[in-house]
Structure 1
Amino acid sequence: MFLSKCVVLCPSSTAYSSVTNGALSLSWQIFVRSTDCDRTLMSAEANLAGLYPPEGQQIFNPNISWQPIPVHTVPESEERLLKFPLTPCPRYEQLQNETRHSADYINKTKENWQFLQMVANETGIRDVSLESIWSVYDTLFCEQAHKMDLPVWVTPDVMTQLKQLKDFGFEFLFGIHNRVEKARLQGGVLLDHIRKNLTKAANLSAHQNLKLLAYSAHDTTLVALQMALDVYNKIQAPYASCHLFELYQEDDGNFSVEMFFRNESGKEPFPLTIPGCQHKCPLPGWTRAWQKGKAWTMPCLPLVFSLAELFVGLAVCGSILLLLIILLLTVLFRIQSQPPGYRHVSNEGEEHA
């Protein structure tokens, strides 16, 4: 199981009936889902082209070393698994506002205030902050990768500082303040989904044909997931990186999980060890290590009010209710205080007689 970031290769969208048999046989072994984004769909197809070159009857054209493999997606407006941060989520938004008022965030802003203003002046972007600086760095990084000339103000030192602030901005999304609760609201959703799939594969191992479950998503997806696992190294995942979960059945029949992170094409992926367990972690221990005995995922419900706010709300509602009761009693008292049988009779007719 892996999460892939973007690779800019474009697959064909044409269906070939002559190769459906080969694709059908693979569909029993792999399931691929992508966010509904051109670059992630292209990444999924590019990865599959490399993982599954056609063989034997799968070859429909000797000059084309490729076979079609389904990639599933949902509309971006319905994406609740792979696109982070998940919104709308009032509690998460409240935590982000608290993070903006944290000492780490305030101090980081003060330390880099002049630099942020310089970037704002040079780019013409009015509101350059620790949260938005990533867009400046990302644009310059892409231009640099495509051998384009950078503006004269973008020196190597400027790029280094932009990258550091961009990394801090990514950490802001899922950490710095109340990381565990943020993780449960965000990356915990995907992590729990992965746990369920690993558990299902272990329980159905004798009859399980599915060998690979792959997700093609974004750098923020990786950050959210690794924050939830508490293995994030505070550096943005580079292009084409992937986080791998491998499920093994041991000689004694029990299952274990190994994790790896591939962030360089020229090197083997390096092992990740979740705090509280060894690298080859038994499946139940792997789950307990990141859940820490708590129900992990949290629904994005309306804001969770503090006890003080609850008391204030109850007091206000109680006061309004008391005023309404007093008003009602006053009206009833005045009605009952009128003499029996007394009626006001108009003499308007007599005056005109």
Structure 2
Amino acid sequence: MWRHGDRSPVECFPATEELCAERWPQGFGMLTAEGMDLGLELGKALRARYSGGLIRPNYTRTDITVRSSDFDRTLMTAQAVMQGLYPPGSGPKTKDGKNGLTPDRLQPVPEHTVQQSQDTLLLAYDATACPAIAAADVAEQKMHLKEWESVSARWGNIRPLIQNVTGLSDDQTTIGAMYAIWDLLVCEMAHDYALIPALNNATLLREIQEIADFTLAHLFASETQQRLAAGRLVAEFSARFVAAVNNDTQPGWNPQSFPKPDRSRDDVAYGPRFWGYSAHDATIVALLQALGAYDGVHPPYASSVALELIPVKQFNAHAVRGGAPALSASPEDLHAVRGFYNTNQTTGNGAFGPEQAITMACSTRIKSANLIQSGAIPAGSCIVSDFVAGYAPVSMPGDTWKTDCALPSPSPTPLPPAPSASPSPAPAQWSGEQIGATVGSGIGGLVLGSIAAVLIVRSCRPEERRGPATMDTATLLF
């Protein structure tokens, strides 16, 4: 799953509004040329990692499926990623194999999406789609009231200055609006635009960033928040892994769309081995929090999370230290899920930086912990049975989402007033950008027992948020 690439801001400060048309000619929330390049580089990195093994070098429908949220920036990022994954020269040829059928043998790849209002997979964090999230946020705020009070006091110390130099009103500068304010500043800095002089202060910018990171992290801090915001993703990933290890058809795949003679092929029978999701920063944060692997730092543009299915090395129940509980020979115990987080920060030679292995909460379950200790699976990973069982509390099958989200949403309880400022209501609910990608693979095929899920996040600013926006009530920020 990946986040979209660099984009334009979704709002401008009233004090600098006259500069917006010149700076952002495509309008608000649109993928920039730099963002397109980030997507392309990400695709190249995915090609280097997976092409020739998990997937074939040339596009094949049975290898890959891409799902995007219904935003221009995520759809365009998905297209850019696919151009990197299947570069010019890899596209179709004439029947005699001598010439390309598209300019530069370009390979189009389909990206699938659904309406924003119906996207319970990649945009589930939006309170307009899931009212129960607002209630869960209020409960989380009450549980950590002292922390919110402390952060609110810090915000109160700088709020008058922010209002004075930006032209933002009281309603536009609640603590819940901090993420939007920080996002706009990040966008301006990413494009080397001059900041308002009073804001061009490293200490002040660090304070704004820390408050913004706090509000984002606490959107998905509780188990209930994680289940509502990322439960559909966790359930889908679990189902894909279980189907892969059991040589079953991937959910959503239709072998009947092929002629009968082809249906006996493993790739046709089982479906794609790579499932990619193009989404938003909030999608990634929600997923990482549900996995117990979030580091509290806002995901940058085109960052990605990958979940990969691998075989357990030298499976031998007697070789596992601890000895109990007994491991079985079931496919779910013979395969493990490992995770990576790639912040996609370019290095000096233009290549993306190294992927970081993540430690998932399921790795502490006793079977997986014993296998890690014996060297049979990588540190931080877990066998499929532990992945499914360990994340069951935050997993939400699609048929229960509407029921679980239809809970009444109480009015947010205001936080204590910030010093020297107007009262700060409870933080607005951010939903974040969602570019989700899961890479799934059946066991039969090029890579035995490999399934990968990649989530990439864009890195300039938040894109959508839950609940009422403070800078513009019609604006989605992530």
TM range (shorter): 0.7 to 0.9
Is the 1:231–1:272 Cα contact (8 Å) retained in structure 2? yes
Instruction: Quote the residue 1:6 is aligned against.
Output: 5
Q: Quick check: 1:132–1:169 contact (8 Å CA) kept in 2?
A: no
CA 1:122 to 1:180, structure 2 compared with 1: closer, same or farther past 3 Å?
same
2: CA distance between counterparts of 1:224 and 1:213? 19
Determine which of 381, 405, 409 is the counterpart of 1:300: 405
Q: Take 2:246 and 2:226, find their aligned partners in 1: how far apart are those partners?
A: 27
Q: 2:202 aligns with which of 127, 135, 156?
A: 156
Partners of 1:100 and 1:279 lie apart in 2 by 30
Q: Which residue of 2 aligns with 1:113?
A: 156
1:324-343 → structure 2 map (5 Å cutoff): none
Instruction: Report the equivalent of 1:186.
Output: 229
The structure 1 residue matched to 2:133, chosen from 92, 107, 115, is 92
Query: Does the CA-based 8 Å contact 1:249-1:256 persist in structure 2?
Result: yes
Q: Percent identity?
A: 25
Q: Which residue of 2 aligns with 1:341?
A: none
Q: State the partner residue of 1:145.
A: 190
Which residue identity does 2:273 align to in structure 1? K
CA RMSD of aligned residues (A): 2.8
Query: How far off its partner does 1:209 sit?
Result: 4.5
Q: Residue type of the partner of 1:113? A: G
Query: Residues 3 and 240 (structure 1 numbering): CA distance in 2 closer, same or farther, change over 3 Å?
Result: closer
- TM alignment of 1:230-309, pairs within 5 A: 230-250=292-312, 254-263=334-343, 264-266=345-347, 267-277=353-363, 278-291=379-392, 294=393, 296-297=395-396, 299-303=404-408
Q: Which runs of 5+ in 2 are unaligned?
A: 7-34, 40-55, 94-98, 249-265, 316-330, 348-352, 364-378, 411-478
Partner of 2:291: 229
Matched, 1:215 2:277: yes
State the shift of 1:212 in Å.
0.7
1:346 maps to none
Q: What displacement does 1:260 show?
A: 0.1
Identify if the C-alpha distance between structure 1 residues 67 and 172 changes in structure 2 by more than 3 Å, giving closer, same or farther: same
Mean Cα deviation higher: 93-102 or 46-55: 93-102
Task: Tell me the TM-score normalized by structure 1.
Answer: 0.74
**Partner of 1:48: helix, strand, or coil?**
helix
1:41 equivalenced with 2:75 (yes/no): yes
| Counterpart-to-counterpart distance in 1, 2:157 and 2:86 | 51
CA offset at residue 51 of structure 1?
1.0
Counterpart contact for 2:165–2:196, Cα < 8 Å: no
- Structure 1 residues 150 and 64: CA distance shift in structure 2, 3 A: farther
Q: State the number of aligned residues.
A: 289
| Cα displacement (A) at 1:60 | 2.9
Identify if the C-alpha distance between structure 1 residues 63 and 188 changes in structure 2 by more than 3 Å, giving closer, same or farther.
same
- Give the direction of change, closer, same or farther, for the CA distance of 1:229–1:103 in structure 2 (3 Å limit): same
Cα deviation, 1:108-144, whole Å, max 9, x if unaligned, reads 1013212123212222222212221111111111111
Structure with more contact order per residue of length (Cα contacts < 8 Å, sep ≥ 6): 2
* TM-score normalised over the length of structure 2: 0.56
Is the 2:58–2:86 contact (alpha carbons within 8 Å) kept by the matching residues of 1? no
Distance 2:296 2:4 in 1: 17
Task: Tell me whether 273-282 or 187-196 shows the greater mean CA deviation.
Answer: 273-282
Task: Decide whether aligned partners of structure 1 residues 189 and 57 sit closer, same or farther in structure 2, where only a CA change above 3 A counts.
Answer: closer
Paired with 1:223 and 1:27, the residues of 2 have a C-alpha distance of 30
Looking at secondary structure, tell me which structure has more helix per residue. Answer: 1
Out of 65, 68, 74, the residue aligned to residue 114 of structure 2 is: 74
Following TM superposition, by how much is the alpha carbon of 1:65 offset from its aligned partner in structure 2, in angstroms? Answer: 6.0
Structure 1 unaligned regions, length at least 5: 12-21, 306-353
**Contact 2:3–2:279 at 8 Å: present in 1 too?**
yes
Q: Is the alpha carbon distance of 1:237 and 1:57 closer, same or farther for their aligned partners in structure 2, counting shifts above 3 Å?
A: same
Give the residue type in structure 2 aligned to 1:146. Answer: H
Note closer, same or farther for the CA distance 1:9–1:60 as it changes in structure 2 (3 Å cut): farther
CA distance in 2, matches of 1:226, 1:303: 27
Would you say the 8 A contact 1:5–1:43 is kept in 2? Answer: yes
